[in-house]
A and B are shown apart, each in its own frame.
Chain A
Amino acid sequence: MSKTITISPTSRQEGHATLSLEVDDEGIVTTGRYYSITPVRGIEKMVLGRRPESAPVLVQRICGVCPVTHTLASVEAIDDSLKIDVPKTGQILREMCLNAHMINSHAIHHFLVAPDFVPEEDYIQVVKNISEIRKQAQYVEDVIGGEGIHPSDIRIGGMAHNITKNTKNKIKTRISGLMGLLEKHVEQMAGYIEAKDFPKDLGVHAQPVLATSNTYGSRQNINLQSINEIMPGSWYEDKYTEQEDEEFAKETKKTAKKIGKTACSQIPLYDDTPVETGPRARAKKYRKFDDVGVKAQHLARAQEMLNAAECILDLVDKVDPSAQTMAKYSLEGTDRLGVGVIEGPRGTNLHTAKISPEGYITDYNCIVPTTWNIPTMGMATEGTHYDYAPDVIRAYDPCLSCATHMVVVDDESKEVIKDDMVQL
């Protein structure tokens, strides 16, 4: 007997989403629908009519997990709209900051998926390693970006401050000092992932990948004309499998309609089809990595941490502590569409902005990595047992972040007074 399985909210990811699965008699998923239930906050609307400098500050609040990515995509879009040439050292510092963030964010994901892969006896040690890796990566984000979370020094035109020789040496010492642990950690995680007894072809799908460069991102490698955003209603409603059982067919159509109304994100298509973006997409396009499925996604992500650390070590030598990091610019725009493309930890992050001749933002739009992945994630659950569907979802490291888990603790008695989800 076919039935619908609903998992809501899906766990160990950032933000809130629901997974609705139609399964056959054996429990194999025939249609998977993954959709965001994180409310729309209107950040793209909020920046309209404001000075360009407000945009990076506001849009970085889209998320506390990958603020560096959003800040960079925002300044890149505005730099492009105003035709600003960022000084070389400023650009190097931006790239270093993103690579540090890449290590940090992937490490957080390892923490989230550790219960799936890491044996109990190794658990504490692995979590300790993750904490150490994050600490060193955050140090680099701190000293270059000004703040690890919501960086203040990434600005339109470049970076607010250069770093001194002293800081340069410290970054070098800390990251080269981290390499040993990082290599060990990646090898260890890869071992656990390989050893996991997942069904063959778990998470394999036929969708293409989207990536614009090996690291950082490139606006040259994305074609805006290929992008089409459709409303969730039409996507989720149109997508259902023909059912023999008439009663069930009626029911699934009803569910699909409801999902179309509940889903909080638009569905972006590239060349009219959903895509996968993220570490595996980058690895496939730029690092000759052809594996597919859940394990491949985890392996590509782990490997990317080393890639990012090597990038930092490579870039830090190129920093000239006495060079300019900020370009001179004027705020008067031409309403030209500026494009900012950043390869964030979860994939291609696209921001576009227009600045008016009076120097105000007239148009702002973001398509963030998880939004790209949302339709693909549902499809990737199809063909295996629904028990494994959450594993498929977690392999994408989805980030629908904007709900905060708030706990109020009595200062004296340490008693938890209030424990609920607060949606912002």
Chain B
Amino acid sequence: MIQDSVLGPHQEILTARATDKKILDKSQDGGIVTALLVYALEKNIIDGTVVAGPGKEPWKPEPMVATTKKDILKSAGTKYTMCPNVALIKEATRGYGLEKIGTVGTPCQVMGIRKMQTYPLGARHVTDKIALVLGIYCMENFPYDSLKTFIQDKAGTTPDKVTKMDISKGKLFIRTADDETAIPIKQTHGYEQSGCQYCLDYVAELSDVSCGSVGAKPGWSTIIKRTDKGASLIDSAIEDGVLEVTETNEGKFGLEMLRKLSKNKKTQRQKNIDKKLDMGLQIPFTHSKFKEDILENR
């Protein structure tokens, strides 16, 4: 295990994408999360999963229990707004009767799941049924109203016309069938949910496997293998041809970029944390003056 305060503890980093065309057509980048969940389901590693499924309004996902490939595919692709997946985990073990749950979440959701596993208050006979925790990279997340503001006021369209949203190269792209609007990320500041201002985790450091587009060329994803469980899942998925691997770019637009973004998030947010703590406010993070390594996520 490599102890790394920037990218979190991990075993190996690689660049890959799904081989299934159906998955790639629907997915955000390399389709890793969708492919891994489908693969884990087929291999009986999980018997179902809690995903961000389509909600009542376009681009407003709602937590959904998926037990088939078809249902998992419905949830493919990134929606840049909050979806309380962790809230459905308990019910997944109850009314849905799942015993090996696959979960996927942003870093804060992964932290929530791990905290629940450590202190299972109100989660009796729940946490022993969490079989897999996939993490996705996240700089910040937007409430649905913020997303609507971007779509309506900045892109001048309506949510139902949007075909894809994507954050890359410092911009938020909003695409419709015949148009594309790019909003510089700087202009989205102030619209993110307030908790994100104090989050030190960019790459879901507590997950079994983390993945995201940063550090990989378009259409591919960077995968961080963390736990043994996560590593063996990736290895067998590659062996069975579910994922294909390409050379990892260690350079400026590759892993260096990933490290840079993670480091930036941590240093910038630590300042916000310090500021609040200095004001005497209670937030569940440690002041930098008490940390040996200020990049540490705690």
A138, A139, A147, A166: which contacts B96 (Cβ < 8 A)? A166
Chain B positions 11-31 with a Cβ under 8 Å from a chain A Cβ: none
Which of A56-64, A156-164, A238-246, A382-390 is near enough to bind chain B?
A: A156-164
**B-contact 0/1 string along A139-154, CB 8 Å cutoff:** 1001110111100010
Q: How far is the CB of B118 from chain A (nearest CB, A)?
A: 15
In the complex, the chain B residue whose C-beta lies closest to that of A163 is B95
Bound-complex Cα distance A124 to B258 (A): 57
Q: How far is the CB of B128 from chain A (nearest CB, A)?
A: 12
A163 cross-chain contacts in B, Cβ below 8 A: 94-95, 97
Residues of chain B at interface, number, CB under 8 A = 12
A139 cross-chain contacts in B, Cβ below 8 A: 125
Chain B positions 88-147 with a Cβ under 8 Å from a chain A Cβ: 90-91, 93-98, 122, 124-125
Tier of interface size on chain A:
10 to 19
A138, A149, A167, A168: which contacts B94 (Cβ < 8 A)? A167
Q: How far is the CB of A60 from chain B (nearest CB, A)?
A: 14
Q: How far is the CB of A300 from chain B (nearest CB, A)?
A: 31
Q: Does A287 reach chain B (CB closer than 8 Å)?
A: no
In the complex, the chain A residue whose C-beta lies closest to that of B123 is A147
B90 cross-chain contacts in A, Cβ below 8 A: 146
Secondary structure call for the B interface:
loop
Q: Does A170 reach chain B (CB closer than 8 Å)?
A: yes
A161 cross-chain contacts in B, Cβ below 8 A: 91, 94-95
In the complex, the chain A residue whose C-beta lies closest to that of B99 is A170
Contact yes or no, B124 A149, CB < 8 A: yes
**B-contact 0/1 string along A112-155, CB 8 Å cutoff:** 00000000000000000000000000110011101111000100
Q: How far is the CB of A155 from chain B (nearest CB, A)?
A: 14
Contact yes or no, B97 A170, CB < 8 A: yes
Q: Do A153 and B94 contact each other (CB < 8 Å), given the known contacts A142-B125, A147-B124?
A: yes
Bound-complex Cα distance A149 to B94 (A): 14
Q: How far is the CB of B68 from chain A (nearest CB, A)?
A: 11
Contact yes or no, A167 B97, CB < 8 A: yes
A168 cross-chain contacts in B, Cβ below 8 A: 97
Q: Does B67 reach chain A (CB closer than 8 Å)?
A: yes
Contact yes or no, A142 B67, CB < 8 A: no
Bound-complex Cα distance A346 to B49 (A): 40
A162 cross-chain contacts in B, Cβ below 8 A: 95
**A-contact 0/1 string along B59-97, CB 8 Å cutoff:** 000000001000000000000000000000011011111
Contact yes or no, B97 A164, CB < 8 A: yes
Q: Do A143 and B124 contact each other (CB < 8 Å), given the known contacts A161-B91, A166-B67?
A: no
Contact yes or no, B124 A167, CB < 8 A: no
Q: How far is the CB of A301 from chain B (nearest CB, A)?
A: 26
Contact yes or no, B124 A148, CB < 8 A: yes
Q: How far is the CB of A93 from chain B (nearest CB, A)?
A: 10
Task: With a 10 A CB-CB cut-off, give which of B67, B96, B98 has the most chain A CB atoms.
Answer: B96
A169 cross-chain contacts in B, Cβ below 8 A: 97
Contact yes or no, A166 B94, CB < 8 A: no
Bound-complex Cα distance A166 to B94 (A): 10
B67, B97, B122: which contacts A143 (Cβ < 8 A)? B97
Chain B positions 154-190 with a Cβ under 8 Å from a chain A Cβ: none
Contact yes or no, B125 A148, CB < 8 A: yes
B122 cross-chain contacts in A, Cβ below 8 A: 147
Contact yes or no, A142 B94, CB < 8 A: yes
In the complex, the chain B residue whose C-beta lies closest to that of A139 is B125
Bound-complex Cα distance A167 to B91 (A): 11
A138 cross-chain contacts in B, Cβ below 8 A: 125
Task: With a 10 A CB-CB cut-off, give which of B93, B97, B122 has the most chain A CB atoms.
Answer: B97
Between-chain CB contacts (< 8 Å), 13 pairs = A143-B94, A143-B97, A144-B94, A147-B124, A148-B124, A161-B94, A161-B95, A162-B95, A163-B97, A164-B95, A167-B94, A167-B97, A169-B97
> 10 closest Cβ contacts across the A-B interface?
A167-B97, A161-B95, A166-B97, A170-B97, A163-B95, A143-B94, A164-B96, A142-B125, A146-B94, A164-B95
Q: With contacts A142-B93, A169-B97, A170-B97 known, what are 10 further pairs, Cβ within 8 A?
A: A142-B124, A143-B93, A143-B97, A144-B94, A146-B90, A146-B94, A149-B124, A162-B95, A163-B97, A164-B97
